[in-house]
Amino acid sequence: MPNVTFQSPLLHRNVTVYAVAGDTASILAVADAHKIPIPHDCRDGECGSCLIEVVTLSGKTMGSALTEKEKTQLKSLGKITSDEIRLAEVDDIAPKYRLACQYIVRDQDILVKFTGEPGGA
Ligand code: FES
């Protein structure tokens, strides 16, 4: 069962929660369930306000499962390059930035960082 640790200036300390691998819950849904205040608006990969930085703590790094909306939004925010998208999709190398509403929990322990500012990570 993967651990998801949230880190933000909005939190007094890091908060680690257990998530269910293979669940269809997004990181944003996991955060909501544990009252972790990741900024968000559309919940549909279109506004970029739920930008997070993801660090793989254990388990294989996995970079696939970027949605088309997520790729488009991350590119427009300048948070992912075409090379990083190719590495994620071809070599399964995780990009640094993701959208919390699009990122589905996988079987790996991760650190999720967010600033608390919409679109800030
Ligand atoms: Fe709008 Fe995630 S909440 S892109």
Q: Which numbered atom of ligand 1 lies nearest the CA of 70?
A: 4
Q: Tell me if 118 is assigned to some domain.
A: no
The type of residue at 91 is D
CA gap 77, 9 in Å, rounded: 21
| Best residue among 49, 75, 76 to mutate for probing ligand 1, ranked by most atoms within 8 Å of CB | 49
For residue 76, report the phi and psi dihedrals to the nearest 5 degrees: -70, -25
For ligand 1, the distance from its centroid to the CA atom of residue 57, given in whole angstroms, is 24
Q: Tell me if 57 is assigned to some domain.
A: yes
Question: Which of 82, 73, 17 shows the shortest CA–CA distance to 48?
Answer: 73
Q: How many domains does the chain have?
A: 1
Q: Tell me if 74 is assigned to some domain.
A: yes
CA gap 73, 71 in Å, rounded: 6
* Boundaries of domain holding 14: 3-113
Q: What is the pLDDT of residues 32-66, one digit of tens each?
A: 999 999 999 999 999 999 999 999 887 666 655 89
The stretches in the chain having pLDDT less than 50 are: none
For ligand 1, the distance from its centroid to the CA atom of residue 59, given in whole angstroms, is 26
Q: Tell me if 30 is assigned to some domain.
A: yes
* CATH at 84: 3.10.20.30
The alpha-helical segments, DSSP class H, found in the chain are 27-33, 68-76, 82-90
Report ipTM for this prediction: 0.99
